[in-house]
Amino acid sequence: MTDAYTRFTRSAPGGALAKQLGLPRPSKLPRRADRPEPVLGPVVVLGGSAGADEIARLLLHWGADVRRRFDELRKIGSVIVVADEINSPSDLGPLVLPLGSAMRSLAPGARVITLSRPARGEDPAQDAARGGVEGFLRSLAHEMRGGATANGVLVEDGVKLDAPGVIGALRFFLSARSAFVTGQLLTVSTDAGSRTEDDTLPLAGRTALVTGAARGIGAAIARTLAADGAKLVVLDVPGAGTELARLANELRAVPIQLDVTSAGAGERLVGVLRERGLTLDVIVLNAGITRDKLLANMTADRWDPVLAVNITSQITLTEALIEAGDVLGERPRVVSLASTSGIAGNRGQTNYAASKAGVIAFVDALAGRLEPLGGTANAVAPGFIETEMTARMPALTREVARRVNSLQQGGLPIDVAETISFLSSDEAGGIRGETLRVCGQNMVGK
């Protein structure tokens, strides 16, 4: 799903004209179908700590071509900067400046990842250095070219660098599954989770519910989770029954027609699950709507449905599933759909932004409630994604929205789906209450 401008600039005459005029020239983003291997090599591991040695050994175990310097490398696929032991801002330059001389050698679709610790509010010099890694990473992501990305993993003090959550985050950021994720830092807060035995089917043996599944991003999520080994329960409103049945037949999934805003929706969902003998290991709360209007023209009939679908239904469904007790499997994973509008706001979307900011706060609180069950809750915040909904935007607005990110193009539904699949995995058990943006580093928010 490539837009007309991008297709033009990828042609020889179009690319030459765009270069001459200084216009955006979006690069092709390799996705899983284009690059199935877990690591694009050679991969250079920078840093002299014991943690850097541990990461190098892990990559060797994955079969990667691992180097510790850039010497004599004409092309570089991936770089991991291990900054887990920096204690002063003066430690940062010697660690990252060697990457500067290698930037022009990065392959198309390359990956740069920082591994560091978050500031603790105790040691000013150490916290300044740790905070500096974040600023470095976010700025570096704006400088990447050729579809390359830069992301960071923040590992809480006391969590080892070989913890499942760290390994899972590295696996995701290094792979082509993170094609539209850049300039982001993801925190691993605990050692919880378990290593994925088969990284080709990370959700094997798990049952996943996807709400709003009949079309668009929801259908892409369902297909991706199924491809990763999950058994699917797909849910949508009765009005989408035809599309839902078609998807259920395609994926051999269990379809449920239900309005998530109706009274007793959670209890009815629990009843259907019990009738079918199903327990849910993964819950993807994707159902959402928009009713845009400036606040001066906002009315209750536009405000109330957006809040009801986008956040209130998430609260009532999860409450019903948790209280039922017998319909949640071990290590439950909840992944909710937020939005960059909930982070930075958006003109004409006070209702939508309120609902999506609510989602971000909701998963943070829900993560604590699920922790005793060995579970997690996280959110994914898409930016501009090429869907039927965004295709109906005014042409100029749509074109601007595509270009105001570091990758200079819109994302695809598969990009959101791949991120959700990662957060649904066993390896993501140490990632709790996080909101991961899938926006190409949209130039709003952070």
Question: Mapping DSSP to helix (H, G, I), strand (E, B) and coil, where does residue 369 land?
Answer: helix
Contacts within 8 Å (CB) and 24+ apart, 125-133: 125/87, 125/88, 125/89, 126/86, 126/87, 126/88, 128/88, 128/89, 129/86, 129/87, 129/88, 129/89, 129/91, 129/92, 130/83, 130/86, 132/89, 132/92, 133/83, 133/86, 133/92
Q: What is the CATH number of the domain that holds 64?
A: 3.40.50.720
Q: Which of 188, 221, 244 is the last residue of a domain?
A: 188
Say whether both 41 and 139 belong to one domain: yes
For residue 374, is it within any domain? Answer: yes
Say whether both 125 and 229 belong to one domain: no
What's the pLDDT score for residue 390?
78
Supply the range of the domain harboring residue 47. Answer: 24-188
Say whether both 56 and 99 belong to one domain: yes
- Give the whole-angstrom CA distance, residue 446 versus residue 438: 12
For residue 86, is it within any domain? Answer: yes
| Total domains in the fold of the chain | 2
Q: pLDDT digit string (tens) for 101-150?
A: 999 999 999 999 999 999 998 999 999 999 999 999 999 999 999 999 99
What's the pLDDT score for residue 443?
67
For residue 14, is it within any domain? Answer: no
Active site residue ranges = 352
Say whether both 114 and 217 belong to one domain: no
What's the pLDDT score for residue 1?
64
Per-residue pLDDT of the chain (446 residues; tens, 9 = 90+): 677 877 878 888 877 877 787 777 888 999 999 999 999 999 999 998 999 999 999 999 999 999 999 998 999 999 999 999 999 999 999 999 999 999 999 999 999 999 999 999 899 999 999 999 999 999 999 999 999 999 999 999 999 999 999 999 999 999 999 999 999 999 999 999 988 767 789 999 999 999 999 999 999 999 999 999 999 999 999 999 999 999 999 999 999 999 999 999 999 999 999 999 999 999 999 999 999 999 999 999 999 999 999 999 999 999 999 999 899 998 999 999 999 999 999 899 999 999 999 999 999 999 999 999 999 999 999 999 998 877 777 777 888 888 889 999 999 999 999 999 999 999 999 999 999 999 999 865 44
pTM, 2 dp: 0.95
CB 25 within 8 A of CB 15: yes
For residue 126, is it within any domain? Answer: yes
Say whether both 174 and 218 belong to one domain: no
Q: pLDDT digit string (tens) for 180-193?
A: 999 999 999 999 99
Q: Which of 122, 157, 188 is the last residue of a domain?
A: 188
Alpha carbons within 13 angstroms on the beta-carbon side of residue 228 total: 28
Q: pLDDT digit string (tens) for 76-89?
A: 999 999 999 999 99
**Are β-strands 149-155 and 106-116 bridged in parallel, bridged antiparallel, or unpaired?**
parallel
For residue 4, is it within any domain? Answer: no
Say whether both 218 and 183 belong to one domain: no
Say whether both 165 and 279 belong to one domain: no
- Give the whole-angstrom CA distance, residue 157 versus residue 443: 30
